[in-house]
Chains A and B, each alone.
Chain A
Amino acid sequence: MSLQTDKRNFSERTTEGLGDSFMRTAVGSAQDSLKTRRLSAATALGDWEQWRNVGQLIRQHTLQNLDYYLEQLADNVERQGGHIYFAATKEEASSYIRDVVVSKQAKKVVKSKSMVTEEIELNHVLIEAGCELIETDLGEYILQMDDWDPPSHIVAPALHKDRRQIRRVFSEKLGYTGDETPENLAGFARTVLRQKFLEAEVGITGCNFAIANLGAINLVTNEGNGDLTAAIPKTHIAVMGMERIVPTLEEMEVLDNLLCRSAVGQKLTSYITVLGPSAAGETDGPEEFHLVVVDNGRSDILGSEFNEALQCIRCGACLNVCPIYRHIGGHAYGSIYPGPIGAVITPLLGGYDDYKELPFASSLCGACTDVCPVKIPLHEQLIMHRQNIVGQRRTGAADRLQMKAASRLLSSPALFGRTLRIAHSASRLMSKQGRIVRGPALIHGWIHARDLKQPVKQQDSFRAWMEKRKGGSEQ
């Protein structure tokens, strides 16, 4: 999988999402539950706003000094005998990892959930190289078994599937014969995957945050698969977006608290681990440790008007409150990064050519900005994208014409007044029983789902009514 998960156009993708009533119910109830849990966990921490301020301060400080902290990280990883590789592009990153795996003559690779490895198309590259690669996060494993169905949520990747679909996948692909209770499905996956962990020669994980002054990485999970991936195989390769770094464990601790509470409403997830290459005398953990730091377009965001998007800690809280995500679902974004943060960073990483619609998939209600634990002004960044897209004349010619007409009309009081006077009769042909039913493309999105009343006659308008009652003479 790459950044792009679906080659169809935006309108086809959203139509499919809107028509999938199971998915919409699942996303709606997941949002409701995650929203409530986030809120109670945030409240329990006390002074959540101050925690957000500290989170924002840490992220901004680290980004402003990113070269310094990455260099410190590199020195400390190497001091412990680990390897660090800086990859400017996704190709560099995935080829380096392939070369490590090939040099180990490894065939069996286990992976724990990592969005950046999706971005660099690592699975594809390793499978091409002849590896048996297994995603071990339960949600990701379900998707892999379902012929690599794309994830639809940053934190809960298989949110769009129900237990019956999962049972069918397990039974068709793995010969599962049990029932569809989540406990039994998970228990079955545990047994299958336990064997994979024990056999694996290489383990690949993402990295929630690298810790610069320690030369280690931080993994935040609930299942424990990340820890097993970094404990049993003799080689561990961790992959990180270059911005995912903190100076010390003290900053990590603040961000982990914000992350766990924002993502799943837990105080801390079951497993929060700080790890690096195995130390002398320790008998498990990796004998060989590689950390791959990926740029892949991030440095172009750094120092740009979208700089704050790099503060993201991938908690998914903005997805859980977004009214648009609720209705169209994660797949409609066509990106491994869906929701409000996806609509901001996907066009930055993948370009406007493929993703110019995403910044418009927002009501600009600002709920995302309100919940963001590191205070990224998400809806303002969406507006900046829109300005760029319009400024670069990337919207359709018909759209531009209509917007130009609307702008003329709305910026001249005289013209606006004249238009109002004739609005009723002019809209007669577009209307049926007092409702507008056809018209320029600009209003299609609205009238498709809602009533748009035909403008009333000039003498019945509110302005005319006010005019008549001026001075309070008429009751």
Chain B
Amino acid sequence: MTVSSNKEAFLNTIAAKLGRERKTNVQRPIIQDLIPDSYGELTNDDLVEILKEQCFFIHTQVIESNPEILQRTLNDLIEANGGGLVMTSGDPRFAEYGLEFPDAAVWEEAAGREENVRRAESANTAIIFADCALAESGTVVVESRPDQGRSLHFLPAHYIAVIERQRLVLRSTQAAAAFNRRIQAGEPVGSSINFISGPSNSADIEMKLVVGVHGPLRATYVLI
């Protein structure tokens, strides 16, 4: 297989069309200061309210819970989804909060590709912990890791994301800046960074919104 064999010619053409030599150093414009801030100072409670309001528009249920009753909240949700197989990520926070789901499948490196995908496909409910959440757009942010595959967020019929309140930020601006700081510092990031805002949907038929197309049919956020 040819690997970037024609890169030089391709990039030289671009430089020629731009009427200059190839560039080897570029200073990117600072855009963070140019982005308007229409919110001002916000407390964590404000962020929760903004999140709840947005989730109403994106067909996502928000349940306020706390670490003491989290297990029960999740059990109730699993039951409301009609039971069936549960699959969780291997996130250490499940153990930290003392959560246990008998018979649940767990996404794990040792299981390998086929088995993890098979489990996710047969799961009725996926439960994950958000790495971060965005109030304005009703978004949970998750990274792929050995204990949390990409398809875990898409194959199960129902999707439950547990959001720790202190991980709420206002919007994608803050999340993108945080990721970029890590990237520029040379820290590894997941090979897939997912910004998930509610269940999958489509308006491809007569512009009528259908909730639940390829990904989950229903999404629920549990705030603790």
Chain A residues within CB distance 8 Å of chain B: 26, 29-30, 33-34, 45-47, 50-51, 53-54, 57-58, 61, 64-71, 74, 78, 80, 83-88, 92, 96, 99-100, 103, 136-139, 142, 156-159, 162-163, 166, 182-183, 185-187, 189-190, 193-194, 197-198, 213-214, 216, 222-225, 227-228, 230-232, 234, 242, 247-254, 256-257, 264, 266-279, 281-285, 293, 295, 299-300, 302-304
Distance to closest chain A CB from B157 (angstroms): 10
Chain A residues near B144 (CB, 8 Å)?
A: 278-279, 282, 284-285
Once A99-B1, A285-B150 are accepted as A-B contacts, the answer to whether A277 and B180 lie under 8 Å apart by CB is: no
In the bound complex, CA of A267 to CA of B171 (Å): 10
Which of the segments B2-10, B94-102, B124-132, B161-169 contacts the partner chain?
B2-10
Chain A residues near B112 (CB, 8 Å)?
A: 283
Partner of B32, one of A26, A64, A159, A250: A250
Partner of A231, one of B29, B107, B136, B150: B150
Contact A166 B113 (CB under 8 A): no
Contact B13 A276 (CB under 8 A): no
Distance to closest chain A CB from B182 (angstroms): 10
Contact A253 B173 (CB under 8 A): yes
Partner of B6, one of A86, A137, A302: A86
Once A46-B36, A254-B31 are accepted as A-B contacts, the answer to whether A71 and B206 lie under 8 Å apart by CB is: no
Contact B192 A68 (CB under 8 A): no
What are the 5 closest A-B residue pairs judged by CB atoms, nearest first?
Answer: A46-B38, A224-B215, A281-B146, A139-B204, A253-B176
Residue of A nearest to B178 (CB): A249
Partner of B183, one of A189, A214, A225, A275: A214
Distance to closest chain B CB from A51 (angstroms): 7
As a 0/1 sequence over residues 138 to 177 of chain B, the CB contacts with chain A under 8 angstroms (1 = contact) are 1100001110011101110000000000000000110111
22 contacts between A and B (CB under 8 A): A33-B207, A34-B207, A57-B31, A70-B14, A71-B22, A88-B10, A136-B214, A162-B206, A182-B210, A185-B205, A186-B212, A193-B214, A224-B216, A227-B215, A228-B214, A230-B150, A254-B173, A270-B201, A271-B195, A283-B107, A283-B109, A283-B146
Distance to closest chain A CB from B189 (angstroms): 7
Distance to closest chain B CB from A371 (angstroms): 18
Chain A residues near B36 (CB, 8 Å)?
A: 45-47, 50-51
Once A185-B205, A273-B195 are accepted as A-B contacts, the answer to whether A227 and B154 lie under 8 Å apart by CB is: yes
Contact B1 A302 (CB under 8 A): no
Tally of B interface residues using CB under 8 Å? 89
Chain B residues near A70 (CB, 8 Å)?
A: 10-11, 14
Distance to closest chain A CB from B144 (angstroms): 5
In the bound complex, CA of A254 to CA of B165 (Å): 25
Chain B residues near A223 (CB, 8 Å)?
A: 200-202, 213-215
Contact A224 B213 (CB under 8 A): yes
Secondary structure of the B side of the interface? loop
Chain B residues near A99 (CB, 8 Å)?
A: 1
Contact B17 A299 (CB under 8 A): yes
Contact A88 B117 (CB under 8 A): no
Distance to closest chain B CB from A151 (angstroms): 11
In the bound complex, CA of A411 to CA of B175 (Å): 60
Contact A251 B31 (CB under 8 A): yes
Residue of B nearest to A185 (CB): B205
Contact A88 B9 (CB under 8 A): yes
